[in-house]
């Protein structure tokens, strides 16, 4: 059996020290294969973002093993982790984290600058990413001139602009209305199925989780349950999410498929 | 990569104009203040030095009485006479020349103008000893001195007040009861010197003054030029001994005359000037440090404020070195820009203030360089080290920073 792309074993994360110490992750075991589309659900404070940050190489676990492409990330140097982020990972933050006073286009260009693209290539690639999230007309607006939903889409464009192997999205539709959310989900599904990008996404909405092939339920810093899901048919016009191994998830029909919009 | 870094750095400067301006302002003020102060201080020192040298060194001035500020009551001490002049000239070693002076005050009248001034009767030695130059005409000749002719060399104040714009040479004006012909004009010395105003005087042969103005043969003062090879203190002591003997002062009694040593005064003043320069240096050092702390604060605050930016850059894949490079370029660009503006400001300020303060304008390369390097170094160091701390955080911790 081949090594999974991402493999977590007994991952714990403790914040603070001594009496105020708080264990946000209490031993996470998880395998993610290339091409997976995973949704992470769970109550607020259950440790979803904490795990995403560790998988995104933005934070380090307190204990346990995290391997990415067979490499033990915990033993890497700071700059080597930065290079992992640069080459393989795209991250959408729960709080966007865009550069202020910087246009949408320049924000999206940022990862390309560190990848070493020249100015012209950078511009057209970034413009393409903005088009995919439907913000081509807003490219020269700064975050303070954009709505929450628009900022979220800029953050998504920045995460996908480098064509990462893994896209980690922490509540990417948290600020969007249902129509926009479905558009973003369709985009993600396209990235997953057409470009083979592995996706891990945190969401509170069963509608969105229904797009994923695997749903992981978090509870109090532990994986409570993993369910396999038959995602909404890709080109079926109408799709219904099925729960294969339990009857818990009953995803509603997400209307006409947003697929096909440019 | 460096090119991109530079572009990134300048983008950040442009995006945050106010913050960049404030950072630069600290450096501008620090550099400008220090350079202006030290330059003006050096100018003042130079001005004082040149006034000291205009006094004429190695010059002893001898007057009856116990010196400035003393005496007051009691009979005024007897004046000197011409025999004293000869005695000093012949009996004291190290004396180059002795200019005896007899003086009185008189009203000078020319056409409609009149002017009250001091008349100094003396010999040609006076001009040399006091370092007085002529701007026009000549000094006395032997005949005029020997016969006590009614000729004079006038100071520039007298010239302006009596003759206005006109040429005074060969003109004759009235001085008390006598008429007097102008043969020369003294160069302006300015009021900045020490002692009596040498611009406001009429210089005549001593014989003329004694015979026709004061009516006595009293010598009111000597100016003794001392050979530079001799110590003015020793010459001064020899003259004191000679005059005490000639004036029959019993041992134990005080001198009834005083000797003013310009060398001693100039030594004292040079000492004071050195102290002044040291003081200015200290003040400059303190303000450079205060300016440095200001730069430090702004840099620290701005990096703290920018920790989130550092987090974002790290999160999208920048390595530590790339982030630091950007901050280094930014800090260096702002510091150097601030330094250059500060230097220009100081140049303008010293250029404008020097004439107002009556000191020569000067440009001191050393202090300019020192102030510039110091503040640039502080700006760079304190732009760099806080950024390094922030860039060594986990990206998520930098992002969470408030
Ligand atoms: N830097 C930190 N310091 C201390 N405690 C933290 C820190 N980050 C997270 N926590 C704690 O860890 C727990 C898990 O946080 P996390 O952000 O992973 O929750 P979450 O599942 O993403 O919640 P939400 O759905 O609200 O985003 C929370 O109780 C939180 O208070
Ligand atoms: Mg979260």
pLDDT in tens, B265-311: 777 877 887 788 788 878 877 877 887 787 778 777 777 778 999 99
Better-scored residue on pLDDT, B3 or A93: A93
Given CB atoms, is A132 within the 8 Å cutoff of chain B? no
Q: What percent of chain A has pLDDT over 90?
A: 75
Ligand closest in space to the Cα of A45 = 1
**Which CATH class name applies to A6-228?**
alpha beta
- Cβ atoms of B27 and B295 closer than 8 Å: yes
**Cβ contact A93–B399 (<8 Å):** yes
Res. B27 pLDDT band, cuts 50 70 90 = confident
Residues of chain B neighbouring A89 (CB-CB closer than 8 A): 317
Please give the residue of chain B at the shortest CA–CA distance from A85: B317
Instruction: Calculate the alpha carbon distances from B62 to B91, B107, B247, B259 in Å.
Output: 16, 26, 14, 4
Residue B63 maps to a domain: no
CB-nearest to B309 from A86, A99, A113 is A99
**Do B244 and B272 belong to one domain?**
no
What's chain B's average pLDDT?
Answer: 86
Res. A252 pLDDT band, cuts 50 70 90 = very low
CA–CA gap between residue B339 and residue B374 (Å, rounded): 9
**Do B132 and B233 belong to one domain?**
yes
**Do B214 and B131 belong to one domain?**
yes
**Do B276 and B147 belong to one domain?**
no
Please name every residue paired with A23 in a beta bridge, in sequence order, or none if there are none: A14
Count: domains in chain B: 2
**pLDDT score for A49:** 96
Q: Is the distance from the beta carbon of residue A48 to the nearest atom of ligand 1 less than 6 Å?
A: yes
CB-nearest to B317 from A60, A97, A111 is A111
Please give the angle made by the CA atoms of B373, B375 and B379, to the nearest 5 degrees: 115
**Do B230 and B275 belong to one domain?**
no
**pLDDT score for B382:** 82
Ligand closest in space to the Cα of B396 = 1
CA–CA gap between residue B106 and residue B293 (Å, rounded): 64
**pLDDT score for B55:** 65
Residues of chain A neighbouring B317 (CB-CB closer than 8 A): 82-83, 85-87, 89, 111, 114-115, 162
**Do B97 and B245 belong to one domain?**
yes
Give A42 Cα–ligand 2 centroid separation in angstroms: 10
Per-residue pLDDT at A140 exceeds 90: yes
**Do B100 and B221 belong to one domain?**
yes
Phi, psi (deg, nearest 5) at residue B388: -65, -40
Pocket test for ligand 1, best of A50, A95, A224 (most atoms within 8 A of CB): A50
Given CB atoms, is A115 within the 8 Å cutoff of chain B? yes
Residue B279 maps to a domain: yes
**Do B12 and B110 belong to one domain?**
no
Instruction: Calculate the alpha carbon distances from A17 to A13, A23, A52, A59, B250 in Å.
Output: 12, 10, 22, 17, 96
- Which stretches of B173-231 are DSSP H helices? 206-208
- Cβ atoms of B184 and B158 closer than 8 Å: no
> Is the complex ipTM more than 0.95?
no
**Do B243 and B94 belong to one domain?**
yes
Ligand 1: nearest atom to the Cα of A42: 21
Per-residue pLDDT at A89 exceeds 90: yes
Domain end among B255, B276, B310: B255
For residue B8, give its domain range: 2-51+267-400
| Global pTM exceeds 0.80 | no
Ligand closest in space to the Cα of A51 = 1
Give A223 Cα–ligand 1 centroid separation in angstroms: 15
Residue pairs spanning A and B at CB distance below 8 A: 67
Closest CA of chain B from A247, distance in Å:
37
Res. B199 pLDDT band, cuts 50 70 90 = confident
Phi, psi (deg, nearest 5) at residue A253: -75, 125
Closest CA of chain A from B271, distance in Å:
59
What's chain A's average pLDDT?
Answer: 88
Pocket test for ligand 1, best of A20, A21, A23, A24 (most atoms within 8 A of CB): A24
Across the range A65-74, mean pLDDT stands at 95
Residue B27 maps to a domain: yes
Residues of chain A neighbouring B395 (CB-CB closer than 8 A): 58-59, 85
**Do B346 and B222 belong to one domain?**
no
How is residue A24 annotated by DSSP?
E
Which residue carries 């031993």 as its tokens?
A: A27
CA–CA gap between residue B194 and residue B233 (Å, rounded): 20
Res. B48 pLDDT band, cuts 50 70 90 = confident
Across the range B346-366, mean pLDDT stands at 88
CA dihedral over A142, A145, A146, A151, signed as positive or negative: positive
Residue B58 maps to a domain: no
Please give the residue of chain B at the shortest CA–CA distance from A162: B316
Which residue carries 């984290």 as its tokens?
A: A97
What tens digit of pLDDT does each residue of A100-112 get? 989 999 999 999 9
CB-nearest to A79 from B1, B309, B320 is B320
Better-scored residue on pLDDT, A13 or B383: A13
What tens digit of pLDDT does each residue of B161-178 get? 999 888 999 999 999 889
**Cβ contact B317–A86 (<8 Å):** yes
Given CB atoms, is A87 within the 8 Å cutoff of chain B? yes
Domain end among B227, B255, B283: B255
Q: What percent of chain B has pLDDT over 90?
A: 30
Residue B73 maps to a domain: no
**pLDDT score for B74:** 59
Closest CA of chain A from B376, distance in Å:
27
Per-residue pLDDT at A56 exceeds 50: yes
CA–CA gap between residue B9 and residue B323 (Å, rounded): 10
Domain end among B226, B255, B284: B255
Closest CA of chain B from A60, distance in Å:
8
**pLDDT score for B277:** 75
Per-residue pLDDT at B194 exceeds 70: no
As given in the structure block, the two tokens for residue B23 are: 């950072």
**pLDDT score for A246:** 39
Angle between helix B2-15 and B17-54 (nearest 10): 90
Residue B199 maps to a domain: yes
Residues of chain B neighbouring A86 (CB-CB closer than 8 A): 316-318
**pLDDT score for A68:** 96
**pLDDT score for A260:** 40
What tens digit of pLDDT does each residue of B227-276 get? 888 888 899 999 999 999 998 888 888 888 988 887 777 778 778 877 88
CA dihedral over B90, B93, B97, B103, signed as positive or negative: negative
Per-residue pLDDT at B345 exceeds 70: yes
**pLDDT score for B56:** 64
CA–CA gap between residue B343 and residue B30 (Å, rounded): 10
**Do B248 and B273 belong to one domain?**
no
Look at residue B196 and give its three-state secondary structure: coil
**Do B283 and B386 belong to one domain?**
yes
Across the range A68-72, mean pLDDT stands at 95
């Amino acid at each position: 059996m081949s090594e999974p792309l991402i493999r977590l074993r007994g991952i714990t994360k403790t914040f603070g020290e001594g009496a105020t110490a708080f264990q946000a992750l209490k031993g996470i075991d998880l395998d993610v294969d290339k091409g997976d589309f995973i949704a992470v659900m769970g109550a607020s404070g259950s440790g979803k973002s904490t795990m995403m940050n560790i998988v995104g190489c933005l934070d380090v676990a307190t204990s346990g093993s995290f391997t990415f492409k067979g490499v033990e990330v915990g033993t890497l140097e700071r700059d080597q982790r930065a290079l992992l982020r640069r080459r393989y990972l795209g991250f959408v933050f729960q709080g966007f984290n865009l550069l202020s006073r910087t246009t949408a286009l320049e924000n999206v260009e940022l990862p390309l600058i560190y990848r070493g693209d020249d100015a012209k290539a950078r511009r057209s690639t970034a413009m393409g990413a903005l088009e995919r999230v439907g913000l081509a007309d807003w490219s020269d607006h700064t975050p303070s001139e954009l709505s929450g939903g628009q900022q979220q889409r800029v953050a998504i464009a920045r995460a996908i602009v480098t064509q990462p192997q893994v896209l980690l999205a922490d509540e990417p539709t948290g600020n969007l209305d249902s129509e926009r959310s479905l558009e973003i989900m369709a985009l993600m599904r396209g990235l997953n199925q057409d470009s083979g990008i592995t996706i891990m996404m945190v969401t509170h909405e069963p509608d969105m989780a229904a797009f994923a092939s695997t749903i992981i339920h978090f509870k109090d810093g532990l994986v409570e349950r993993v369910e396999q899901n038959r995602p909404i048919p890709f080109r079926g016009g109408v799709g219904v999410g099925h729960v294969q191994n339990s009857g818990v998830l009953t995803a509603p029909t997400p209307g006409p498929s947003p697929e096909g919009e440019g | 990569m460096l090119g991109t870094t530079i572009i990134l750095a300048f983008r950040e400067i442009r995006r945050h104009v106010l913050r960049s301006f404030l950072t630069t302002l600290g450096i501008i003020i620090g550099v400008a203040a220090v350079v202006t102060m030290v330059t003006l201080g050096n100018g003042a020192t130079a001005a004082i030095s040149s006034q000291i040298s205009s006094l004429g060194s190695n010059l002893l001035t001898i007057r009856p009485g116990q010196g400035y500020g003393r005496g007051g009551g009691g009979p005024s001490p007897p004046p000197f006479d011409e025999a004293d002049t000869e005695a000093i000239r012949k009996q004291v070693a190290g004396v180059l020349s002795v200019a005896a002076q007899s003086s009185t005050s008189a009203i000078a009248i020319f056409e409609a103008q009149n002017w009250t001034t001091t008349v100094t009767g003396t010999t040609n030695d006076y001009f040399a000893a006091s370092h007085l130059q002529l701007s026009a005409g000549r000094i006395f000749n032997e005949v005029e001195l020997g016969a006590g002719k009614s000729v004079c060399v006038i100071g520039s104040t007298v010239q302006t007040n009596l003759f206005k714009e006109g040429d005074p040479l060969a003109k004759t004006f009235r001085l008390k009861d006598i008429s007097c012909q102008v043969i020369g004009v003294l160069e302006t010395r300015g009021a900045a010197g020490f002692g009596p105003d040498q611009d406001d005087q009429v210089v005549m042969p001593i014989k003329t003054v004694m015979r026709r103005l004061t009516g006595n043969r009293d010598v009111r003062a000597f100016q003794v030029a001392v050979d530079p090879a001799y110590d003015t203190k020793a010459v001064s002591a020899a003259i004191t001994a000679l005059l005490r003997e000639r004036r029959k002062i019993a041992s134990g009694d005080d001198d009834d005359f005083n000797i003013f040593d310009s060398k001693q005064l100039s030594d004292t003043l040079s000492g004071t000037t050195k102290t002044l320069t040291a003081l200015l240096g200290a003040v400059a050092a303190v303000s450079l440090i205060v300016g440095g702390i200001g730069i430090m604060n702004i840099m620290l605050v701005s990096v703290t404020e920018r920790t989130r930016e550092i987090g974002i850059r790290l999160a999208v894949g920048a390595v530590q070195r790339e982030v630091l490079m950007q901050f280094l370029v930014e800090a260096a660009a702002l510091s150097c820009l601030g330094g250059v503006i500060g230097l220009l400001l100081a140049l303008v300020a010293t250029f404008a203030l020097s004439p107002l303060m009556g000191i020569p304008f000067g440009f001191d390369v050393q202090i300019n360089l020192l102030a510039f390097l110091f503040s640039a170094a502080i700006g760079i160091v304190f732009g760099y080290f806080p950024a390094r701390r922030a860039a060594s955080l986990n990206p998520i911790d930098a992002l969470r920073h408030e």
